[in-house]
Structure 1
């Protein structure tokens, strides 16, 4: 007993007396920390420091403040934005014929381009003082999502000028002269912008761009000026074939010291008219049968004045920071908007199709195999819309949370891929055969585009989410890294000392708290709500603590090697991501007034994310290289075992049944899906058939009973079915008339497009003589 007391006293003295603590503990740890600290390149450091910490920081802390989340304002449209949605956006959607855009014209029609310019769809992020709309991120997201439900090609054409590009870079960094000249021209559509970043040798690793500019003297507008001689080769540049102004990222060098002392200034962004001598644009790529303009740009010995650098000469070499700061916001809007549109379209249309399409006299949506896929569509779409709203909420508050937007981009595009694949499985031939009535095919083919751009998903998951989150979101690591990098050793040590003590307390607390929460199954954790969702908050807090503990142990044990252990770090990134997704689902449920009809969707979504968290932890523990440490961590996080299973079959069935019911819930879950009240419309034909069949469900019951009795042949359909049923007095004359119309809609809905010989071969879907579709299409 005396020895134990002596040890405790010695520990207290060592920890309490600063000089002793720094000599015995802090200095050795400080040296170790500096040795194992993963080396960061300039581009990595700038990316790490870009953006804000938001709810991701709460989740990484192990102590999420749920009340803070629930008090976050919902993203809402202003009256002006709503008027634009009701008028200009509605008009645009009515103009879009996606089959014609993609298969016939390979471009947006001129009237659509003119309308987009006139109504300033390209200027949603440009300030009103320059003629732009100055819309909120909420409006930007809503508008792009709604367009994407109609035409991916049109949505991409609108989203690119409103995402990372000249408009945003000029707004944040441009000189007054640049803003005054370019922004009004971009706002009214006089100029169409593109931004050239990606090249043959630089994709997701944009910092590796080989394109270069050399500071030199040259002639511009008849005068010798100090400028830049550029050489570049870029590809995958959206709107490049039609752009009139080119934003260009390149590495800037000053070998002769004409600009200053530094010979290598770094990545720089400039704005160049495409009409400028030496600029080459026009060639197009053909991205997976999509019609948005995407292509190449080249330049050889192109001379520009220094004033064409975005932000002027003072911003030479600051381009990478500019890009990552702007990308962190745009990445949370554009591609997630496309993914959310996929969710809304697939839920609404698949629910309708599963009711309209029948086998063995029953809607295919009552068969359990189909219900499994349908339930996943509905449950996943609930998460998609929840994530879109929560991320937009942060952006509307002026936040630019880089880790959150990375999670949003990666997981939402992956979930978009999942829902469209489930929908294709259910629709089968209806989804495969392209034509004016196919609302899935082009969306399906566009999915890999979203997966690939703005940071390929493999890179985003394996490097960015946890790699950036572990330093930016951790309460102490980034400050410790700064202390270790301090050139003044003594100052760095003093700063590190205070941080280390806090970090040790943080780590010890997380270990014991994680173990306690695991043993008690989180039941003593606080929850901000009561009812069926209360337990979910308790479980998420438990996993937040587990993440904080596992992250600390990983960084301590693996040090710089953690940067290369991508599979390990990716799993911790998955834990953080699914914590965020589950948070978004619970936040939406509260924001919408705890709708009882939404509970199956909420239960499916949160249980799915909890299961994914458990799965990620399991993979992390099984593959962690320090085996004894892995065993201890597993015992702390799952002392009673991992009991978080996938959602039940019953939940999938409940969701699938709900998807086949018209009403408020269906409309709330699919409001971004545009459909026209027209039986010839791409989505309208399915919606009208669905509603008509529901209205006639009692009549169809009579027909099935008559078929079972052998009075009515089961091989009849359409007008023949209506006539025969009336002749046998199974239905009235009025019911027969309604049935004939409903059968016409049903047969059109389950039919697929086919074309007369020569139409496909000669690309004659549409001609100047009129629309040949009605002659060519045979349902």
Structure 2
């Protein structure tokens, strides 16, 4: 029976798979093999095991980590004057640089035995998040050495000699690292890299030494202008066959001191008016001994895999931390400003259009913070979820863009006049920088998230691809024959589950125990996990390698996977927090928005599917009733908006980690006006009932004369009026003439 199946079913199928398989380059293969699958695989299984996620527990800090955040991080934030850094000096002051080095901010992830802090990914993320609410430039300066850079690569791949020499020097700031990957010819497409090295012998320190003669041009290198050690990626060649028969040895990564002869450090770039150091560098016939390769000579050609492995973790921490901090800052300040700023005699936060934007800001902050915590919790446990990290980078930075745009709209003129009182302008300008780096979001969304996720997370597809490409045809046939029955059963279960839940609207889907009223959301999550899994199966079978070139189809399916991850994390966070009733409006708004986005993406896939009748079939099977879940109602939006316009545990919980400024800072002024306004709310209500607008001196005098308020209340309301007036002010200047003119 087995032989007959192999002859009449498996062999023809193997030939078909070989024809339709998308071509996969070496760099793509290494990117797919880097990191690991995690909850993303559960979401693409059609039936997620929620206990796997919920039983992880919330992220936790050690006493030392919390003490560092309460101590040096808080002190750093008090030292920082972001206006001075960004607009006057265009640089971080020497005092701050010294503080960062002395307190080992560049050694957050370096183990204590090498002089670092040895903190967890969760601590690393919370440190960067808090600093970023004070200054993006300082946040990036701290973030880069602790994410994709020489330190992380050395810890994972370095020789003991390299670790013992460099890690202590990186931890205490004697060495400032940068990493050179991007070049003018190769950004996201690292395979196009033209930076190259040639294996050779050369005299070094008076001895004939085996090494490489390397030429390169790198740009957009953060910390490049001040770096003392450069992590360098280049393609290595051996035309003289010094090392063996192969001439092309692959992408290799080495550590190069920036004072090495032939290295040129260029003038700095100025990314979107941010003050963190960034610039180009060049190398002309630079001799690099073999022992400068990270991990030594045996790691020749393994550079791309090393980089992708590091990025699988670092991408989930760095920019998501900055984005989460920015979204929290937007929620805290915009909620306060919408309460104190009045138009037509009422707070602008009472206008329904503004309420909707406030709700969206609050929900974005809630979702990003939830996903951020869930991801770092996974990293704490030693996981390196490559697809999840890509989701976090792309959707966290896009979420920040929406939150800050909405915050700018609500603040209006307050947010577009530059000066120390403007606490949103620099965050707004940082958004395109965050979206562009570590893989531009367009390519991450179109090619990476679903492109990698569909293959890596599928229980059989990667093994089938390996069987199809096995050079031993007989062995490949046996491998595929063993997989086929399992895959067929998986497809049958997926088909039945997705069609049943699609036609019944997920009413009979399962949910984990002990989640209370949130069970309805888990049922819908299971429904759309099954739908995505079935649509993925059909898309791969019908389009094969063509799916790789249908980037918009891939992007929309990636959006569904991303929404499922973000919503999973939001449900986990709500559960970790003890399912507080006060936070329920945030959960409701976020979940409805996520389901709405999923349905929009799926319907766009169906309507734009290259094989029209298959698109129609997929919709008939999985979404026969069209849109079945509406976005959040106006009532839910009002409830969500009120949470950030009212003092309380929910507002504090949502915006925990935001630095609220030194006395007299723009954030502090708005926060104090917000507190004062709420403390005098009953007084203002008395005045309004008497037909008076509360916050002007004439009205207060009239209210006092009419005995609507007491003298003590009049004094309180005058202080509130003064605080609000100060909070709505913007900076102004005598002249725009250049200094010295």
Q: TM-score, normalised by structure 2?
A: 0.98
Report the CA distance between 1:718 and its aligned residue.
5.6
Q: Which residue of 2 aligns with 1:65?
A: 49
Q: Which residue of 2 aligns with 1:746?
A: 724
Partner Cα distance (1:631, 1:509) in 2: 21
Q: Which residue of 2 aligns with 1:547?
A: 532
Matching residue within 731, 738, 743 for 2:709: 731
> SS of 1:227's equivalent?
strand
Partner Cα distance (2:517, 2:582) in 1: 13
Report the CA distance between 1:461 and its aligned residue.
0.4
Report the CA distance between 1:382 and its aligned residue.
1.1
Report the CA distance between 1:717 and its aligned residue.
5.3
Relative distance call for 1:103 and 1:379 in structure 2 (3 A) is same
Report the CA distance between 1:602 and its aligned residue.
0.4
Q: Which residue of 2 aligns with 1:675?
A: 660
Q: Which residue of 2 aligns with 1:594?
A: 579
Partner Cα distance (2:246, 2:75) in 1: 54
Q: Does 1:417 align with 2:401?
A: yes
Does the aligned pair in 2 maintain the 1:346–1:377 contact within 8 Å?
A: yes
Superposition map of 1:245-324 within 5 A: 245-324=229-308
Partner Cα distance (2:209, 2:703) in 1: 88
Does the aligned pair in 2 maintain the 1:207–1:320 contact within 8 Å?
A: no
Partner Cα distance (1:540, 1:563) in 2: 26
Q: Does 1:576 align with 2:576?
A: no
Superposition map of 1:115-134 within 5 A: 115-134=99-118
Superposition map of 1:11-90 within 5 A: 17-90=1-74
Does the aligned pair in 2 maintain the 1:239–1:292 contact within 8 Å?
A: yes
> SS of 2:324's equivalent?
helix
Q: Does 1:157 align with 2:141?
A: yes
Let me know the Cα RMSD of the aligned residues.
1.5
Q: TM-score, normalised by structure 1?
A: 0.93
Q: Which residue of 1 aligns with 2:348?
A: 364
Q: Which residue of 2 aligns with 1:233?
A: 217
Matching residue within 434, 445, 460 for 1:476: 460
Matching residue within 477, 482, 504 for 2:488: 504
Does the aligned pair in 1 maintain the 2:498–2:621 contact within 8 Å?
A: yes
Q: Which residue of 1 aligns with 2:644?
A: 659
Moved more, 358-367 or 749-758: 749-758
Relative distance call for 1:763 and 1:274 in structure 2 (3 A) is farther
Does the aligned pair in 2 maintain the 1:137–1:396 contact within 8 Å?
A: yes
Superposition map of 1:606-621 within 5 A: 606-621=591-606
Partner Cα distance (1:517, 1:675) in 2: 47
Partner Cα distance (1:551, 1:698) in 2: 57
Report the CA distance between 1:688 and its aligned residue.
0.2
Matching residue within 382, 386, 392 for 1:402: 386
> SS of 2:516's equivalent?
coil
Report the CA distance between 1:719 and its aligned residue.
5.7
Partner Cα distance (1:610, 1:137) in 2: 30
Superposition map of 1:513-524 within 5 A: 513-524=497-508
Q: Which residue of 2 aligns with 1:761?
A: 738
Superposition map of 1:434-453 within 5 A: 434-453=418-437
Structure 2 unmatched runs, 5+? none
Moved more, 221-230 or 439-448: 221-230
Residue-by-residue CA offset, 1:388-417 (whole Å, 9 max, x unaligned):
011111111100010111111111111110
Does the aligned pair in 2 maintain the 1:722–1:737 contact within 8 Å?
A: no
Partner Cα distance (1:346, 1:463) in 2: 30
Structure 1 unmatched runs, 5+? 1-16, 765-779
Report the CA distance between 1:364 and its aligned residue.
0.5
Partner Cα distance (1:428, 1:533) in 2: 37
Q: Which residue of 1 aligns with 2:441?
A: 457
Does the aligned pair in 1 maintain the 2:137–2:274 contact within 8 Å?
A: yes
Partner Cα distance (2:702, 2:259) in 1: 70
Partner Cα distance (2:403, 2:164) in 1: 44
Does the aligned pair in 1 maintain the 2:695–2:717 contact within 8 Å?
A: no
> SS of 1:699's equivalent?
helix
Matching residue within 643, 651, 654 for 2:628: 643
Moved more, 303-312 or 749-758: 749-758
Report the CA distance between 1:741 and its aligned residue.
2.3
Residue-by-residue CA offset, 1:477-532 (whole Å, 9 max, x unaligned):
00111111111111111110111111111112211221111222222221114532
Q: Which residue of 2 aligns with 1:6?
A: none
Does the aligned pair in 1 maintain the 2:109–2:146 contact within 8 Å?
A: yes
Relative distance call for 1:358 and 1:622 in structure 2 (3 A) is same
Report the CA distance between 1:43 and its aligned residue.
0.5
Moved more, 444-453 or 635-644: 635-644
Q: Which residue of 1 aligns with 2:589?
A: 604
Superposition map of 1:373-392 within 5 A: 373-392=357-376
Partner Cα distance (1:42, 1:586) in 2: 38
Report the CA distance between 1:154 and its aligned residue.
0.4
Partner Cα distance (1:431, 1:640) in 2: 44
Q: Which residue of 1 aligns with 2:686?
A: 702
> SS of 1:61's equivalent?
coil
Partner Cα distance (1:732, 1:762) in 2: 51
Q: Does 1:138 align with 2:122?
A: yes
Q: Who wins on radius of gyration, i.e. which is larger?
A: 1
Partner Cα distance (1:31, 1:85) in 2: 58
Partner Cα distance (1:670, 1:25) in 2: 58
> SS of 1:76's equivalent?
coil
Does the aligned pair in 1 maintain the 2:101–2:172 contact within 8 Å?
A: yes
Does the aligned pair in 2 maintain the 1:269–1:319 contact within 8 Å?
A: yes
> SS of 2:134's equivalent?
coil
Q: Does 1:194 align with 2:178?
A: yes
Residue-by-residue CA offset, 1:340-383 (whole Å, 9 max, x unaligned):
01111111101100011001111100011111111111111111
Moved more, 405-414 or 639-648: 639-648
Matching residue within 565, 573, 584 for 2:550: 565
Report the CA distance between 1:547 and its aligned residue.
1.1
Partner Cα distance (1:445, 1:280) in 2: 29
Does the aligned pair in 1 maintain the 2:606–2:618 contact within 8 Å?
A: yes
Residue-by-residue CA offset, 1:429-453 (whole Å, 9 max, x unaligned):
1110111111100000000011100
Matching residue within 512, 515, 537 for 1:528: 512
Partner Cα distance (1:642, 1:731) in 2: 54
Q: Which residue of 1 aligns with 2:317?
A: 333
Partner Cα distance (1:470, 1:317) in 2: 27
> SS of 1:255's equivalent?
coil
